[in-house]
Amino acid sequence: MTPEAALAELEARADPERAAGAAAYHKASRRYLGVPNPVINDLTTAWRQVLDVPARVALAEALWKTDVHEARIAAAKLLTQARLRPDAAAWALIASWVPEFDAWAIADHACIAGQKRLVADPSRIDEVEAWTRADHMWTRRAALVITLPWTRQNHPKPADLAIRDRVLGWAGAYVDDPEWFIQKAVAWWLRDLSKHDPERTRAFLAEYGDRMKPFARKEAAKHLPA
């Protein structure tokens, strides 16, 4: 599967009307094909079946470089797999994309791929922590989105609790950030955490809630037990 062939498969499923709507919605200046996510998922599933890991990484890198919206999503989906060995090149590629994030859909798909690699090797959290100090808003946001798996454990091990508390520390440093997407990411992390660890969520809101934007504070507490 060459990059040219993969892009041609995406282009064959283009919908100009849908593409125009996507361009207006995402507001990032790039080419849009209007291919729905389920179709991209079917294509990338088929590609993964015929490509070994190095070939998947190479194809993902090439598709990302096209700067076509659906091709970048396909690049992320190619690497969204819990078991991926070896995965060092995949992680390095995903991390290299982060400074280029400029819209939530592509960023979220890439972060979902990154979540798998981070769970596979939690020591990579040290690299992610550096993102929290970036000037680039989407990089700061990615630090929370990529660590969402640590909100969803019902029986976390001590090492997982340490990561949970570490990320809550990052979120605490974000509460004064005026960027809507940062506030939304903090709220998202806390909302998901509240379903599995309401005590930590309540403690965070007791300490920082007054400094959060009202919409973010409300979203964070949405699923807290009464």
Tens of pLDDT, residue by residue over 80-113, are: 998 899 999 999 999 999 999 999 999 999 999 9
- Residues 115 and 127 both lie in one domain: no
- Residues 73 and 85 both lie in one domain: yes
- HSE (CB half, 13 Å, CA atoms) of 202? 9
- HSE (CB half, 13 Å, CA atoms) of 135? 0
179: which DSSP letter? -
Of 73, 100, 120, the last residue of a domain is: 120
- Residues 7 and 103 both lie in one domain: yes
- Residues 81 and 143 both lie in one domain: no
- Residues 76 and 144 both lie in one domain: no
Of 120, 145, 165, the last residue of a domain is: 120
pLDDT tens digits along 133-142: 999 999 999 9
What is the reported pLDDT for 27? 84
| Res 177 pLDDT > 80 | yes
Per the structure, the count of domains in the chain is: 2
- Residues 86 and 61 both lie in one domain: yes
What is the reported pLDDT for 82? 83
* pLDDT band, residue 168 (cuts 50/70/90): very high
Mean pLDDT calculated for residue range 18-43? 94
Residue 35: domain span: 1-120
